[in-house]
Structure 1
Amino acid sequence: MVILLIENRHYLQYGLFAALAIWAWFRGEAPERQIGLIFVAAIALQIIYRQFVPQTLSREIEVPYLMLDILMFVAFSSVALRANRIYPLWILAAQLIAVLMHFQRGVLEEMAPLAYWVLIRLPSYLQMLAFAIGVWKQSRRKARGLQSRPWRLTSRP
């Protein structure tokens, strides 16, 4: 049972991200909704890609995944720099780690398996945690009747 769960953990992770995106859609505001849509779109693209190209344990840079991570970085940057929230910056920082880890494959000859696993997998778990905390905090603010601007005000000359 545990082995089956470990082998299919990405489906559990996809489900958790989708559940968070649904929660964000109904309980959050524009930044939460946009971040949820970014995660759902990335999951959909990964699932479609895996249907055509089987996953292998390659020691080379996987360009499609690199491109997806770069697109996510750009999308998260757009939200994080405009949102009147802190947690999108956490998500953006974790995405930067994910992007940079693609290049370590081309640079390092050998890396401890545990270190590699942590650096490849941990960013998405950190993003999930940050997103859950962000949606939860926004949900609590709304439940208390507190208003917070979804976007930062630009400085005026």
Structure 2
Amino acid sequence: MRIALFLAFLAVAVGYAAWKGGGPERTMAAIAATMVGLDQLLHLFVPPTFASLDTGHLAIDLFGAASTVTLALFAHRFWPMCIAVLHMVPLLAHSSRILDVALHPAAYLAMQVATSWPVPAILILATWRHQRRLARGANEPCWQISSRPSIPSIASP
């Protein structure tokens, strides 16, 4: 039941972000949808196990962490940093399994799953704030724009 509730909550967040969000919100919606799709595809072939290293979820979590950190680096928003941090916690769980730290399977599961719950709420809030900025007429960029230092022209004598 909790999985269905989470998927419904995430579907609302992804749909709202895809419909009304700016570039970063839509990108996060695509990342979240991709992660859920990969998870569902994984479970078609491999049953979840939390007694040993779960390499399938490790790959999905590496994708999620790399994608959200990249988003946080390039988006002109604060919220992607929060989501990037949330995607790092499952990597700590996988690291504990790689290092063979005694970790109860329930704790391993919780570290992989629990940090997913705030993501839809943050995405909904981020999309709502984007809409508020647009309603105020604020003209803020969605992406960080790299400003290359200008090279002074060499004046001919």
Q: Report the equivalent of 2:18.
A: 25
Q: Report the equivalent of 1:83.
A: 75
Q: Report the equivalent of 1:144.
A: 136
Give me the whole-angstrom Cα distance separating, in 1, the residues matched to 2:15 and 2:122: 16
Give me the whole-angstrom Cα distance separating, in 2, the residues matched to 1:118 and 1:63: 16
Percent identity over paired residues? 26
1:37-116 map, 5 Å: 37-56=30-49, 58-106=50-98, 107-111=100-104, 113=106
Give me the whole-angstrom Cα distance separating, in 1, the residues matched to 2:41 and 2:68: 21
The code of the aligned residue for 1:35 comes to M
Unaligned runs of 5+ in 2: 150-157
| 1:137 Cα offset (Å) | 1.0
| 1:151 Cα offset (Å) | 0.4
Give me the whole-angstrom Cα distance separating, in 1, the residues matched to 2:103 and 2:59: 24
Give me the whole-angstrom Cα distance separating, in 2, the residues matched to 1:138 and 1:129: 14
| 1:118 Cα offset (Å) | 4.8
Please give the root-mean-square deviation of Cα atoms over the aligned residues, in Å.
Answer: 2.0
Which 10-residue stretch deviates more, 61-70 or 71-80?
Answer: 71-80
| 1:120 Cα offset (Å) | 3.2
Q: How many residues align?
A: 148
What's the TM-score, normalizing by structure 2?
0.83
Give me the whole-angstrom Cα distance separating, in 1, the residues matched to 2:32 and 2:105: 29
Which 10-residue stretch deviates more, 25-34 or 101-110?
Answer: 101-110
Give me the whole-angstrom Cα distance separating, in 2, the residues matched to 1:152 and 1:124: 26
The code of the aligned residue for 1:19 comes to V
Over residues 47-101 of structure 1, what are the superposed CA-to-partner deviations in whole Å (9 max), with x where a residue is unaligned? 1111222223x32110010011001111112211000000000000111112121
* Selected match of 2:120 from 125, 128, 140: 128
| 1:146 Cα offset (Å) | 2.2
Give me the whole-angstrom Cα distance separating, in 2, the residues matched to 1:40 and 1:66: 17
| 1:40 Cα offset (Å) | 0.4
Q: Report the equivalent of 1:13.
A: 6
What's the TM-score, normalizing by structure 1?
0.83
Give me the whole-angstrom Cα distance separating, in 2, the residues matched to 1:82 and 1:127: 19
